[in-house]
Amino acid sequence: MGTAPQEASSGPPAGRSFTEVQQSAEFGELRRAHRSFAFPVTVGFTVWYLLYVLLSNYAGDFMGTKVFGNVNIAFVFGIAQFVSTFLIAWWYSRHAEEKIDPKAEAIKKRLEDEA
C-alpha cells in the first residue's frame, strides 16, 4: 500500500530557500526591474484608455470630426488603442528579455545549484 517509488524531483527546492531568495537583494533587483516598467506603462495606458472612453462619451462633436473620407477622430483613436496595446506588448517582451529574464535565470540557477 502506497509503496510507489519516489522519483527524484527536478522541481524547485522547498520552503526555506524561497524565503531567503525573496528577501535577497538579487530578488529585490528583479522586482524593481519589473515594477519600473510595469507600473508606469500600466498607468499611462490606463490614462490613454480612459481618455478615449471619456472623449467618446462627452466630446461627441470632437470625436465625430472627419479626418479624411468617412474616417473620424474616434475611429483613429480606436485603432490607436489596438496599436498601442501591441506596441506595449512588444516593448515589454524586449524589456523582459534584456532586464528581467537574465536576473530571473540567475536566481533559478542558484536555487537549482543549491538543491
DSSP 26-73: HHHHHHHHHHHHHHHHHHHHHHHHHHHHHHHHH-HHHHT-EEETTEEH
From 25, 7, 6, select the one nearest 110 (Cα to Cα).
Answer: 25
**What's the confidence (pLDDT) of residue 11?**
57
**Is beta strand 71-72 parallel, antiparallel or unpaired with respect to 66-68?**
antiparallel
**What's the confidence (pLDDT) of residue 107?**
85
* Per-10-residue mean pLDDT, the chain, length 115: 54 65 87 94 96 94 93 95 96 94 88 76
Task: Give the list of residues 6+ apart from residue 69 with CB closer than 8 angstroms, or none.
Answer: none
pTM of the model: 0.73
